[in-house]
Amino acid sequence: MLVTINVPDSLPQERLWQQIREIKENFRQEAEFIKRTGKMSDDGECEEDMRLFWESFGSWEDDRTTEEIIKDIYGARKTVERSIQL
């Protein structure tokens, strides 16, 4: 994996190296956890996020008729005239 980091000139060089070491250690710990458990995170948020993601799929249910839905869509559209000069 390649990572590009934009570093502001104002950041002291020693602080930059410290941040790089911290990032490297975080990646190492995460990789170790994934190898050990097969999961991305141990905080439970990943499973909850995936559950919510899959719950968002499904068919669209609406009490309106097709014609009413189309009428609402067209009614919500706005046309704005803009003067464009080239």
pLDDT in tens, 44-65: 667 787 788 888 887 778 899 9
**Torsion region of 82: left, alpha or beta (phi above 0 gives left; psi -120 to 50 gives alpha):** beta
CA atoms within 13 A on the CB side of 74: 6
Which residues 6+ apart lie within 8 Å of 23 measured at CB?
A: 3
Please name the amino acid found at residue 24: K
Q: pLDDT-based confidence at 67, cuts 50/70/90?
A: very high
Which residues 6+ apart lie within 8 Å of 62 measured at CB?
A: 69
pTM above threshold 0.75: no
